[in-house]
Amino acid sequence: MNAIERLEEVTKIPEPHEILWFLDGNVVLATDVYLFKVHKGVLSLQSTVFRDMFDLSNAVISTDGGNEIESVQDTYEGVPLVTLVGDDGEDVAHLLRAVYEPRNRTPLDVVVALLLLSAKYDFKGVWANVVVQISRQYPTHLQDYDAVDNDDNPLFDVRRNGCPFTLLCAAFKANADVLLPILYFACSDFGMKSVIFETRENDTPSDCVNTLLEGREELDRALNKFIWGLPELLRAALRGGRNQCNANPPCVEAFPYSYLSDLISSDFNRTRGSFVADAYLGPGCPNCKLLVKNAVETAREEYWEKVPSHFGCPEWHVIERQLDELENS
């Protein structure tokens, strides 16, 4: 870049946004690349930060994000001009589009921008909407989670396994506490190399990383306990169903409990009851397989119930109640 280009870069003037430029708008928001001519009433209705700012028309307001909204007496073509310092123009466009067009077609970067900016400017409706949207993709019931827990599934316009670390970081910064336990859990299902890389890449706050690492270690311990308890669990299930066993010799005697160590992996998928029954009781009779599957699922439920506690979060039923409230707000 030569000196003239650099000068042009520095002095680049933001231009009116193609869509978010309402002729009857009564305030212009300025960002690095765009100007938005929008409505004070619409913003005030949804954002307490903007409402307060328009109330105190000369104020300089500091928000939690540390950036300042400077509301000086500038005008743009006769309309008050508010400069949003430090916010990316594209991100603000996502936020304003969510305010004006509440739809659900949302790629990951938009979801993140919506979560962060709606928290920063206290757009309660947008915030609740995006939190609920994310929670639907990361359900708190084990069976629902199993149903969507596939790395290759598409999610927010990328692959599912490309989402959790970005979402965790954004949820943490946006005080979306109801999303934290399930996102901590989803991130714990990755190897340590990915955890280190992804948390760095996303610039994740250290408190969030610490909680993730400590909880991940506790989860590992709980998973080991679960797996080492399997032979006992399976034997008890098979003994209990001895009378219904169709095999000769009966499965309880034939089942070898071999390769159990294969189950010890950070991939939670591989602990499903049907997986365990197929992998470790391959030649067993259908009745015994069903018993084993059910016994494993019951043990998994117990493991699942304790997941939030490993990350210092409230139990699932508390989270679910808070999500219900958000959905109905």
Per CB under 5 A, residues contacting Zn ion are 245, 247, 251, 285, 288
Short-list 115, 121, 113, CA closest to 172: 115
Nearer to Zn ion, 75 or 244 (CB): 244
What number of helices (H) and strands (E) belong to the chain?
Answer: 17, 9
Q: Give me the least distance between CB of 291 and Zn ion, in Å please.
A: 8
Which residues, at least 6 apart from 271, have a Cβ–Cβ distance to it below 8 Å? 223, 226, 227, 263, 296, 300
Q: Give me the least distance between CB of 237 and Zn ion, in Å please.
A: 10
Long-range contacts of 287-290, Cβ-Cβ distance < 8 Å, separation of 24 or more? 287/241, 287/244, 287/245, 287/246, 288/237, 288/238, 288/241, 288/244, 288/245, 288/247, 288/251, 288/252, 288/255
Short-list 44, 26, 179, 31, CA closest to 125: 44
Nearer to Zn ion, 222 or 247 (CB): 247
Identify whether 308 is preceded by a cis peptide bond (ω within 30 of 0): no
Q: Give me the least distance between CB of 297 and Zn ion, in Å please.
A: 18
Nearer to Zn ion, 285 or 323 (CB): 285
Nearer to Zn ion, 180 or 277 (CB): 277
Nearer to Zn ion, 239 or 306 (CB): 239
- CA-CA distances (angstroms) from residue 289 to 77, 106, 237? 75, 42, 10
Nearer to Zn ion, 73 or 248 (CB): 248
Q: Give me the least distance between CB of 246 and Zn ion, in Å please.
A: 6
* Burial class for 26, CB neighbours closer than 10 Å (0-12, 13-18, 19+): middle
Separation CA 8–CA 10 (nearest Å): 5
Radius of gyration of the chain from Cα atoms? Answer: 26
Q: Give me the least distance between CB of 270 and Zn ion, in Å please.
A: 23
Q: Give me the least distance between CB of 295 and Zn ion, in Å please.
A: 13
Separation CA 257–CA 292 (nearest Å): 12
Q: Give me the least distance between CB of 248 and Zn ion, in Å please.
A: 9
Nearer to Zn ion, 98 or 251 (CB): 251
